[in-house]
Amino acid sequence: MDNSLINLPDYTVEYQPAPIIINNLEGLQAAIAQYISRYSNLVITEDNVKDTKNVRAGLNKLKKALDERRKEIKRGYNEPLAAFEKEVKKLEASIDLVIDPIDAGLGELEEQRREKRETDVRDLIAEMAPNYGVEIEVIEFDPRWLNKTMTNKQLTNEIASVMTTIKNTADKLANDTSMIEHYAKAVGVDSIPWIDQLKQGQDVQYLLKAIDRQVEMAKERQRQRELEQQAAAEHQKETNSGKIVDTNTGEVVSLTRTLKITATKDKMWELATYMKKNGIKFEAVE
């Protein structure tokens, strides 16, 4: 295929605007000015209504004649313009027959370039990810990385920066999660709700203080329950069957049962914590 440029011939577009002249324009302007002066403050009466109508008719006739002539001249001006525009449109359509396939070919080539570039970038991400300890799936692909202006050095630096940020964020979350888990276990609370808040962006120090507040509130509730139990115990007694009965109402308020429970050490610890919180007495049986 011959891609050499074809020399276009020199060309010009000639246009000479023709003047439009109203003969005796000054006289027409002067006559209209006289009418304006005479009739601008006219008071119409029965005596002058006929003459006034005649003046109006004459002026309307003049106005109509001027407008018709204007339209006639405009049509005459537009005819060569319309013919010129038609020829220009034909030339433009012929030029587009060349430009359109060139645009399509360039667009397809650019799409191929971007696809290859994307493959290369994703390969680079896969190569770099193990070095930064991150998973490929967590890297959000930036469309700017496909731009021609993005050099390989810039690309590598940007991907490295993204991976470093992701790794630091993941490490902080892991450390904060471990801190919450150990602290929650130490004070006997469930860590899962607090870790969920941590993953949603809550500050770890705020959560640790919130755990302290929850523990203090639980202790206060336990203290109130113990006070209520002490007050109730003053009029309760244990029967031979192991039941505790309210001496005022005769109501059975507590039963003693022996249970054999099998669970993991952690689950057993959680069960003991739950029973303590809810005022359930228990003891180990050998």
Answer with the one of 55, 77, 107 that is the final residue of a domain.
107
Q: In the chain, at which residue ranges do the beta strands (DSSP E only) sit?
A: 236-238, 244-246, 252-254
Is residue 8 in a domain?
Answer: no
Q: Judge if 163 and 273 occupy the same domain.
A: yes
Q: Judge if 86 and 157 occupy the same domain.
A: no
What is the pTM for the complete model shown?
A: 0.53
Whole-number Å distance between alpha carbons of 118 and 112: 10
Show Cβ contacts of residue 273 under 8 Å, excluding neighbours closer than 6 positions.
188
**Statement: residue 258 has pLDDT above 70:** no
Tell me phi and psi for residue 269, to 5 degrees. Answer: -65, -45
Percent of the chain with pLDDT over 70: 87
Is residue 136 in a domain?
Answer: no
pLDDT at 16 (0 to 100) = 82
Whole-number Å distance between alpha carbons of 253 and 251: 6
- pLDDT class of 80 with cuts at 50, 70, 90: confident
Q: Judge if 74 and 176 occupy the same domain.
A: no
Instruction: Tell me the DSSP string of 50-95.
Output: HHHHHHHHHHHHHHHHHHHHHHHHHHHHHHHHHHHHHHHHHHHHHH
Question: Is the sign of the CA dihedral 167, 169, 172, 178 positive or negative?
Answer: negative
Which tokens go with 237?
Answer: 């007694």
**Statement: residue 205 has pLDDT above 70:** yes
Q: What domain range is 92 assigned to?
A: 25-107
Candidates 222, 220, 215; CA nearest to 189 is 215
pLDDT tens track for 46-63: 888 888 888 888 889 988
* Type of residue numbered 264: T
- pLDDT class of 126 with cuts at 50, 70, 90: very high
Between 224 and 114, residue with greater pLDDT = 114
**Statement: residue 277 has pLDDT above 90:** no
Tell me phi and psi for residue 128, to 5 degrees. Answer: -85, -30
Is residue 38 in a domain?
Answer: yes
In this structure, the chain runs to a length of 286
Q: Judge if 101 and 187 occupy the same domain.
A: no
Answer with the one of 50, 83, 107 that is the final residue of a domain.
107
Candidates 17, 22, 19; CA nearest to 81 is 17
Which tokens go with 258?
Answer: 């022996």
Is residue 247 in a domain?
Answer: no
Is residue 122 in a domain?
Answer: no
Q: What is the mean pLDDT of the chain?
A: 85
* Tally of structural domains, the chain: 2
Instruction: Say if CB 232 and CB 225 are below 8 A apart.
Output: no
Mean per-residue pLDDT, 100-117: 94
